[in-house]
Protein backbone atom coordinates (compact mmCIF):
# COMPACT_ATOMS: atom_id res chain seq x y z
CA UNK A 1 0.00 0.00 0.00
CA UNK A 2 2.85 2.40 0.83
CA UNK A 3 4.47 1.67 -2.53
CA UNK A 4 1.23 2.43 -4.37
CA UNK A 5 0.91 5.80 -2.63
CA UNK A 6 4.57 6.57 -3.32
CA UNK A 7 4.21 5.83 -7.03
CA UNK A 8 1.00 7.87 -7.23
CA UNK A 9 2.78 10.86 -5.67
CA UNK A 10 5.76 10.46 -8.02
CA UNK A 11 3.43 10.16 -11.02
CA UNK A 12 1.53 13.28 -9.96
CA UNK A 13 4.70 15.34 -9.45
CA UNK A 14 6.12 14.15 -12.78
CA UNK A 15 2.90 15.04 -14.59
CA UNK A 16 2.77 18.51 -13.04
CA UNK A 17 6.44 19.12 -13.83
CA UNK A 18 6.25 18.10 -17.46
CA UNK A 19 2.96 19.84 -18.19
CA UNK A 20 4.27 23.06 -16.66
CA UNK A 21 7.43 22.99 -18.76
CA UNK A 22 7.23 24.64 -22.13
CA UNK A 23 7.88 21.88 -24.62
CA UNK A 24 8.33 24.14 -27.62
CA UNK A 25 10.06 27.13 -26.08
CA UNK A 26 12.03 28.83 -28.81
CA UNK A 27 15.31 30.46 -27.87
CA UNK A 28 17.89 32.59 -29.62
CA UNK A 29 21.27 34.13 -28.92
CA UNK A 30 21.17 37.82 -29.69
CA UNK A 31 23.75 40.53 -30.04
CA UNK A 32 23.31 44.15 -29.03
CA UNK A 33 25.66 46.63 -30.67
CA UNK A 34 26.30 49.78 -28.67
CA UNK A 35 26.92 53.13 -30.32
CA UNK A 36 30.54 53.00 -29.09
CA UNK A 37 31.08 49.71 -30.97
CA UNK A 38 30.92 47.41 -27.92
CA UNK A 39 28.83 44.27 -28.41
CA UNK A 40 26.89 42.35 -25.77
CA UNK A 41 25.40 38.89 -26.15
CA UNK A 42 22.21 37.71 -24.49
CA UNK A 43 20.31 34.42 -24.60
CA UNK A 44 16.55 34.92 -24.85
CA UNK A 45 13.33 33.00 -24.91
CA UNK A 46 11.13 34.08 -27.79
CA UNK A 47 7.55 35.16 -27.08
CA UNK A 48 5.86 34.86 -30.45
CA UNK A 49 2.32 33.59 -29.95
CA UNK A 50 -0.33 35.67 -28.19
CA UNK A 51 -0.32 33.14 -25.33
CA UNK A 52 3.47 33.39 -24.90
CA UNK A 53 3.26 37.18 -25.04
CA UNK A 54 0.47 37.35 -22.46
CA UNK A 55 2.34 35.06 -20.06
CA UNK A 56 5.88 36.40 -20.47
CA UNK A 57 7.82 36.06 -17.21
CA UNK A 58 4.70 35.70 -15.03
CA UNK A 59 5.26 33.51 -11.97
CA UNK A 60 9.03 33.27 -12.60
CA UNK A 61 11.06 33.86 -9.46
CA UNK A 62 14.51 33.56 -10.99
CA UNK A 63 15.70 34.99 -14.28
CA UNK A 64 19.45 34.45 -14.64
CA UNK A 65 21.71 37.35 -15.56
CA UNK A 66 22.52 37.41 -19.26
CA UNK A 67 19.12 36.02 -20.21
CA UNK A 68 15.81 37.58 -21.13
CA UNK A 69 12.69 37.32 -23.24
CA UNK A 70 12.21 38.86 -26.67
CA UNK A 71 8.63 39.62 -27.66
CA UNK A 72 8.23 39.61 -31.45
CA UNK A 73 5.21 41.29 -33.00
CA UNK A 74 3.91 41.11 -36.59
CA UNK A 75 3.94 44.85 -37.20
CA UNK A 76 5.07 48.12 -35.65
CA UNK A 77 2.69 49.31 -32.96
CA UNK A 78 2.59 51.11 -29.65
CA UNK A 79 3.39 48.44 -27.07
CA UNK A 80 2.03 48.30 -23.52
CA UNK A 81 3.37 46.01 -20.77
CA UNK A 82 2.64 45.53 -17.08
CA UNK A 83 3.89 43.21 -14.33
CA UNK A 84 0.78 41.33 -13.20
CA UNK A 85 1.81 38.08 -11.45
CA UNK A 86 5.49 38.80 -12.12
CA UNK A 87 7.52 38.55 -8.90
CA UNK A 88 10.90 39.51 -10.39
CA UNK A 89 11.86 43.14 -11.09
CA UNK A 90 12.50 43.63 -14.80
CA UNK A 91 13.77 46.20 -17.26
CA UNK A 92 12.20 46.47 -20.70
CA UNK A 93 13.53 47.91 -23.95
CA UNK A 94 11.19 48.80 -26.79
CA UNK A 95 12.88 48.23 -30.15
CA UNK A 96 11.86 49.35 -33.63
CA UNK A 97 11.74 47.17 -36.76
CA UNK A 98 15.34 48.10 -37.65
CA UNK A 99 16.56 46.96 -34.23
CA UNK A 100 17.15 50.36 -32.62
CA UNK A 101 16.34 50.65 -28.92
CA UNK A 102 13.81 53.47 -28.53
CA UNK A 103 12.95 53.23 -24.81
CA UNK A 104 14.24 51.54 -21.67
CA UNK A 105 12.12 51.34 -18.51
CA UNK A 106 12.38 49.61 -15.13
CA UNK A 107 9.29 47.71 -13.99
CA UNK A 108 8.29 46.82 -10.43
CA UNK A 109 7.13 43.34 -9.37
CA UNK A 110 3.36 42.78 -9.46
CA UNK A 111 2.69 46.35 -10.66
CA UNK A 112 -0.42 46.89 -12.77
CA UNK A 113 0.98 50.21 -14.04
CA UNK A 114 1.12 50.16 -17.83
CA UNK A 115 4.56 50.86 -19.29
CA UNK A 116 4.05 52.06 -22.88
CA UNK A 117 6.48 52.63 -25.73
CA UNK A 118 6.93 56.27 -26.74
CA UNK A 119 6.96 55.31 -30.43
CA UNK A 120 5.80 52.35 -32.47
CA UNK A 121 7.94 49.28 -31.86
CA UNK A 122 8.25 45.79 -33.32
CA UNK A 123 10.08 44.12 -30.40
CA UNK A 124 10.24 44.28 -26.62
CA UNK A 125 13.16 42.83 -24.67
CA UNK A 126 12.66 42.02 -20.97
CA UNK A 127 15.69 41.35 -18.78
CA UNK A 128 16.44 41.28 -15.04
CA UNK A 129 16.18 44.83 -13.72
CA UNK A 130 19.42 46.77 -14.06
CA UNK A 131 20.93 44.54 -16.75
CA UNK A 132 20.85 47.26 -19.42
CA UNK A 133 22.69 49.65 -17.07
CA UNK A 134 25.22 46.99 -16.06
CA UNK A 135 25.99 46.35 -19.73
CA UNK A 136 26.01 50.09 -20.62
CA UNK A 137 23.18 49.53 -23.11
CA UNK A 138 21.29 52.71 -23.94
CA UNK A 139 18.61 54.19 -26.16
CA UNK A 140 19.99 54.29 -29.71
CA UNK A 141 21.94 51.04 -29.38
CA UNK A 142 20.96 48.32 -31.83
CA UNK A 143 19.70 44.76 -31.50
CA UNK A 144 21.08 42.75 -34.40
CA UNK A 145 18.03 41.36 -36.21
CA UNK A 146 19.12 38.27 -38.14
CA UNK A 147 17.31 36.32 -40.85
CA UNK A 148 17.34 33.33 -38.48
CA UNK A 149 15.49 35.35 -35.85
CA UNK A 150 12.90 36.48 -38.38
CA UNK A 151 12.42 32.88 -39.59
CA UNK A 152 11.66 31.73 -36.03
CA UNK A 153 8.62 34.00 -36.13
Domain range annotation of the chain: 24-152
- Ordered DSSP codes for 3-66: HHHHHHHHHHHHHHHHHHS-TT--EEEEEEE-TTS-EEEEEEEEE-SHHHHHHTTTT-----TT
Question: How much is the pTM?
Answer: 0.83
Among 5-9, 17-21, 74-78, the range with the most confident prediction by mean pLDDT is 74-78
Residue 88 has pLDDT above 50, yes or no: yes
- Where is pLDDT greater, at 45 or 9? 45
User: Which pLDDT value is given to residue 144?
Assistant: 95
Query: Which homologous superfamily is 24-152 in?
Result: Protein of unknown function DUF192 (2.60.120.1140)
HSE, side-chain direction, 13 A CA sphere, residue 134: 10
Phi, psi values for residue 125, rounded to 5°: -120, 115
The reported pLDDT for the residue numbered 4 is 46
Whether the predicted pLDDT of 80 surpasses 70: yes
Amino acid sequence: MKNAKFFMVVAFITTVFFTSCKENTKTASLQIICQNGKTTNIKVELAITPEEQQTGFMFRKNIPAGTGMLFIFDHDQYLHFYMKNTPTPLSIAYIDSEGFIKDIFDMSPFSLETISSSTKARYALEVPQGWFNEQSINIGDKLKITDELIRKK
